[in-house]
Chains A and B, each alone.
Chain A
Amino acid sequence: MSARLADVGLALLRQALLLAAITVAVFALMRVVPGDVVDAMAMEGSLDEEAVAALRADLGLDAGVLAQLRIWVVRALGGDLGLSLRFDRPVAELILAALPTTLALGTLALAVGLALGIALPAAAVLWPRSPFPVLVEAVNLWSIALPTFCVGLAGILVFSVWLGWLPVIGQMLLPVLILGIDNAGQIAKPLHEDLKEAATAAHIRTARAKGLSPARIVLRHLLPNAMTTVVALGGMMLAALIGGALTMEVLFGLPGLGTLAYQAVSGRDYPVIQAVVMVFAAGVVAVNLLADQLQRALDPRLRR
């Protein structure tokens, strides 16, 4: 057990180091950029040189990069992510306001993805001569061939512009379905292969020989064993989902972290970019860590 705790500790330490390295890298990247937010503002409006210098000093941009980094880290550890240069509001407030939308979109899409991605292959194994195996192939090809960006635009054209069933902006139905089906496609095919292979195992033959119903075999004996595959794929899927959600939010005008990142990038709002990148990175790192540990918990062979 203590070996296991040490394992978890080591993994945590590794990911924490990774996050720290990303912080420094993004911070450096945002500071080597030619032209900062004050330049951008000066180009848009009428700031004379004195006002530019005063604004720089006010925003703390006149200090050295290392000094700025030190100040940022110290404050960030205390929960203060600074002020948005554009919105004149605390960055933490902006992030907290955007987080629920992104979490809702991600959770719903993940739920749709897992439900479809597990149910389809299970049905395909249960009824091999039904259309379900073809559906598994179809949803797989769909997710490889059709980027969510494309499907999102096509969806807006069909359901909002032509049929007029849904508003273009602010609805979550289309993005959830699009991301969910995309996820299902990633998980359904490998899971189907896994289930088919597992169905030839001796204990399944025994279960069949003693007269268990096919449904019970799939639900009680096949699916639980395939959960490691689901978790392994689910972790990757969730990481991809976080990226896909960003595009979907901007496309469908949802006020989440993706839209915040987009606005911050367009407006050169470094504190917001920095914070949003950190939140996304922390999310991906946490998901990977969780998936790894869950996999170890489920599959004793992975604990060495």
Chain B
Amino acid sequence: MSASAAGSLAAGRLGAGRSSAGFAAGVTILAVAVLVAVLGPSLVPHDPLAQALAAGNAPPDAAHWLGRDHLGRDIAARLAAGTRISLLVALGATLLSVILGAGLGLVAEANGRWASFVVFGAFDMVRALPSILLALTLMVALGVGTAPLVLALGIAFAPHMAMVARAAWRRETASGYVAAARVMGAAPLATLGRHILPNIAGALVTQAAIVVPRAITTESVLSFFGLGVAPDTPSWGRMIAGAARFAEAAPHAVLAPVAALCVVTLGFALVGDRLRLALDPLREHGR
């Protein structure tokens, strides 16, 4: 599969413009999620870690808006704390994947055939594994915790960024202004920073909007498997894993984090859709 095909597939998946109502809904969802992540625990008057075994799996009431989990911990407080963890991990991982993928990919492309062969060979290796399996294997090597998780997810998603960056680089280097810069004696890396990077930033931001929700989901799956964040960290995946065993007795404890996960990924999809059109209006003609 060539890089440009991968790029146009990503574009095709996001589709042509949908209604602006969808975009507004997406922005609202993400704004609320960010607000909850920033304000976090101060929104809910309970400690996300405080246990009350006697009140385990209690349904929602006036004091505990979303009920309590199997250890009697307040679900609303854990959800708020988990929003911060999930968003931080996903944003950190996406940033790392841009730096690793686009950064390494562009520098390799700028430095000629061999550098490109080596770097993209490594990315091909990463790409040959499903990202969840790769992250799982990396977590075994790196150990459980938030920093290893960001690193593992960053590596797992780096090839996506590298492919987008390479496709954009090849498109830009084929254009006249890059040739003009070369004729004027600009060094490859200077051309990269001054001319090419600003022009492919849109493509990278668009790809980031695709990667963030995937990173959120992968974080949840890994935590669900017991290999994501540390066991005492309240993340959505950990909440799901803990509550799943008691789904019959306390479905509300599973429902809350699952709903949060679905709604936030939906928000990113709706915003990413419009972002693509806004940042890359030429793509439809460019392929």
- Which A residues have a C-beta under 8 Å from some C-beta of B? 18-19, 21-22, 25-26, 29-30, 32-34, 137, 140-141, 143-147, 149-150, 153-154, 156-157, 161-162, 168, 186, 189-190, 193, 232-233, 235-236, 239-240, 242-244, 246-247, 250, 261-262, 265-266, 268, 273, 276-277, 280-281, 284-285, 288, 291-292
> Do residues A247 and B141 form an inter-chain contact, with CB atoms below 8 A?
no
> Do residues B121 and A21 form an inter-chain contact, with CB atoms below 8 A?
yes
Could you give 21 example pairs across A and B, Cβ below 8 Å? Answer: A25-B125, A144-B269, A146-B266, A147-B265, A149-B221, A149-B224, A149-B261, A153-B240, A153-B244, A154-B262, A161-B248, A168-B247, A189-B13, A193-B16, A243-B130, A262-B136, A265-B136, A265-B140, A265-B225, A277-B129, A284-B129
Bound: A169/B277 CA distance, A: 43
Q: Tell me the nearest residue of chain B to A264, going by C-beta.
A: B140
> Do residues A243 and B132 form an inter-chain contact, with CB atoms below 8 A?
yes
Bound: A250/B237 CA distance, A: 14
> Do residues B133 and A246 form an inter-chain contact, with CB atoms below 8 A?
yes
Bound: A141/B269 CA distance, A: 8
Bound: A233/B269 CA distance, A: 20
Give 9 nearest A-B pairs by CB, closest first. Answer: A243-B130, A190-B12, A145-B269, A147-B217, A145-B266, A144-B269, A150-B262, A153-B258, A281-B128
> Do residues B128 and A22 form an inter-chain contact, with CB atoms below 8 A?
yes
Q: How far is the CB of B30 from chain A (nearest CB, A)?
A: 13
Q: A18-B128, A157-B247 are in contact. List 17 more A-B contacts (CB 8 A).
A: A140-B13, A141-B18, A143-B13, A144-B273, A146-B265, A150-B261, A153-B244, A153-B258, A154-B262, A161-B247, A162-B251, A193-B12, A193-B16, A247-B132, A277-B129, A280-B133, A284-B130
Bound: A288/B127 CA distance, A: 11
**Residues of B contacting A189 with CB < 8 Å?**
12-13, 15
> Do residues A157 and B13 form an inter-chain contact, with CB atoms below 8 A?
no
Secondary structure dominating the interface of B: helix
> Do residues B258 and A154 form an inter-chain contact, with CB atoms below 8 A?
yes
Q: How far is the CB of A44 from chain B (nearest CB, A)?
A: 15
> Do residues A26 and B1 form an inter-chain contact, with CB atoms below 8 A?
no
Secondary structure dominating the interface of A: helix
Q: Tell me the nearest residue of chain A to B138, going by C-beta.
A: A29
If A162-B251, A235-B1, A277-B137 touch, whether A145 touches B270 (CB-CB below 8 Å) is: yes
B255 within 8 A of A: yes
> Do residues B262 and A33 form an inter-chain contact, with CB atoms below 8 A?
no
Bound: A242/B128 CA distance, A: 11
- Which B residues have a C-beta under 8 Å from some C-beta of A? 1, 5-6, 9, 12-16, 18, 121, 124-125, 128-133, 136-141, 143, 213-214, 217, 220-221, 224-227, 240, 244, 247-248, 251, 254-255, 258, 261-262, 265-266, 269-270, 273
> Do residues B137 and A29 form an inter-chain contact, with CB atoms below 8 A?
yes
> Do residues A261 and B13 form an inter-chain contact, with CB atoms below 8 A?
no
**Residues of B contacting A150 with CB < 8 Å?**
217, 258, 261-262, 265
> Do residues A236 and B248 form an inter-chain contact, with CB atoms below 8 A?
no
Q: Tell me the nearest residue of chain B to A19, going by C-beta.
A: B128
> Do residues A265 and B251 form an inter-chain contact, with CB atoms below 8 A?
no
> Do residues A285 and B128 form an inter-chain contact, with CB atoms below 8 A?
yes
Interface centre among B128, B244, B251, by most chain A C-beta atoms within 10 angstroms, is B128
> Do residues A261 and B133 form an inter-chain contact, with CB atoms below 8 A?
yes
Interface centre among A147, A261, A277, by most chain B C-beta atoms within 10 angstroms, is A147
> Do residues A145 and B130 form an inter-chain contact, with CB atoms below 8 A?
no
Q: Tell me the nearest residue of chain B to A280, going by C-beta.
A: B133
Bound: A291/B258 CA distance, A: 35
**Residues of A contacting B262 with CB < 8 Å?**
145-147, 150, 154
**Residues of A contacting B224 with CB < 8 Å?**
149
**Residues of A contacting B130 with CB < 8 Å?**
239-240, 242-244, 246, 280, 284
Bound: A276/B134 CA distance, A: 11
Bound: A277/B217 CA distance, A: 21
> Do residues B129 and A22 form an inter-chain contact, with CB atoms below 8 A?
yes
> Do residues B136 and A261 form an inter-chain contact, with CB atoms below 8 A?
yes
If A145-B265, A190-B12 touch, whether A247 touches B140 (CB-CB below 8 Å) is: no
**Residues of A contacting B138 with CB < 8 Å?**
29
Bound: A285/B138 CA distance, A: 20
**Residues of B contacting A236 with CB < 8 Å?**
1, 6, 9
If A25-B125, A284-B128 touch, whether A186 touches B13 (CB-CB below 8 Å) is: yes
Bound: A34/B144 CA distance, A: 12
If A137-B18, A154-B258, A235-B1 touch, whether A190 touches B9 (CB-CB below 8 Å) is: yes
**Residues of A contacting B214 with CB < 8 Å?**
147
> Do residues B125 and A21 form an inter-chain contact, with CB atoms below 8 A?
yes
**Residues of A contacting B128 with CB < 8 Å?**
18-19, 22, 281, 284-285, 288
Q: Tell me the nearest residue of chain B to A291, going by C-beta.
A: B1
Bound: A262/B224 CA distance, A: 11
Partner of A147, one of B9, B139, B213: B213
**Residues of B contacting A247 with CB < 8 Å?**
132, 221
Q: How far is the CB of A295 from chain B (nearest CB, A)?
A: 9
Interface centre among A21, A32, A268, by most chain B C-beta atoms within 10 angstroms, is A21
Q: How far is the CB of B211 from chain A (nearest CB, A)?
A: 13
Bound: A25/B126 CA distance, A: 10
